[in-house]
Amino acid sequence: MTHPGLDGGPIQLGHNAGVGCGRPERFIEAVYDAGAAAYDHYWAPALHRHARALVDALPAGHRRTVLDVGGGVGTLAPALRATAGPGGLVVLLDRSRGMLRRAPGDMPRLQADVARLPIADQAADVVVLAFVLFLLTDARGAVTEAARVLRSGGWLLAATWGRQQGAGADDVVRDELDRAGAPPFPELPRSDELTDSPARMTVLLEACGLTHVRTEMRSLDARFDPASVLAMRTGSGALGWRYTRLDDPGRDAVRRRTARHLAALPSDAFLDRSEVLLTWARGP
């Protein structure tokens, strides 16, 4: 069976076709839909070199089928096409249609849930989960699905967060939202405690049948400036969701006060040193 995706790229489908319907997942989907433009412009470039390191570590291949699960705006597309090699296929899957619409137009795309991949068993040579697992209510289920669609000896690549500290400038945005009475971001069930250290990630992947697990912890080391922090944090993510819940006068006041405070911060306040955990594993 084939499916045209959003723009005509064929892909073999198996059971579980369709987008999942869990309430937390729907909420996160809506948050990413709303913040897709700011994410694409500001946050995706900060994550790219770490996700790219996952792909660059693979040996050269040809005619590979590569699934970029939760691939968002398709930042990894050029690197994944290179690793797919001549005659290969790269398919981008994400819950968020807003994110998918910003991906390269010639890339096969499919709106799908990471926990219910509409892909046949053992259909992929490489499955990428870049900055996805920390968002999920069931990371174990997602890894189990990735292992299901991965061919024996294929590669699972994952990037996720270790210790997240963010840039100090983020606190200014948060404080101004609090001052303006913006509602708190909802507490959502998550399973990131299964994936936030090399030891935990290894245990999870091996429990799902994956082998030859290798991990590397590194620092995000992403530097921003006052304008990018203001645009990124009010335009995407949890802080962006809070910002959009204010009325127009409230949003205007937050922007004015935040811009003034950000301009007075030292440069180190705009450096995000959160831990990034990279993981490579082989299919069962």
Per residue in 257-271, pLDDT (tens digit) is 999 999 999 999 999
**Which has more confidence, 253 or 191?**
253
pLDDT band at 21 (very low <50, low <70, confident <90, very high): very low
Q: Is the pLDDT assigned to residue 196 strictly greater than 90?
A: yes
The predicted model scores a pTM of 0.90
Pick the closest to residue 110 from 238, 235, 1 (CA basis).
Answer: 1
Q: Is the pLDDT assigned to residue 230 strictly greater than 50?
A: yes
Provide the pLDDT for residue 238.
96
**Which has more confidence, 245 or 61?**
245
Radius of gyration of the chain (CA): 19
Q: Is the pLDDT assigned to residue 240 strictly greater than 90?
A: yes
- Averaged pLDDT for residues 61-75: 95
Strand partners, 158: 129, 279
Q: Is the pLDDT assigned to residue 9 strictly greater than 60?
A: no
User: Alpha-carbon distance 134 to 218, whole Å?
Assistant: 16
User: Alpha-carbon distance 50 to 220, whole Å?
Assistant: 8
Tokens of 45: 């470039």
Torsion sign, CA atoms 32, 37, 38, 42: positive
The tokens 């811009």 sit on which residue?
259
Q: What is the mean pLDDT of the chain?
A: 91
Question: How many C-beta atoms lie closer than 10 Å to residue 14's C-beta?
Answer: 15
What digits encode the pLDDT tens for the residues 175-192? 999 999 999 999 988 888
- Averaged pLDDT for residues 263-282: 97
Hey, what domains does the chain have and what are their CATH numbers? 17-169+188-223+273-282 (3.40.50.150)
Q: Is the pLDDT assigned to residue 215 strictly greater than 90?
A: yes
Q: Is the pLDDT assigned to residue 223 strictly greater than 70?
A: yes
Provide the pLDDT for residue 2.
40
Provide the pLDDT for residue 22.
58
User: Alpha-carbon distance 207 to 170, whole Å?
Assistant: 36
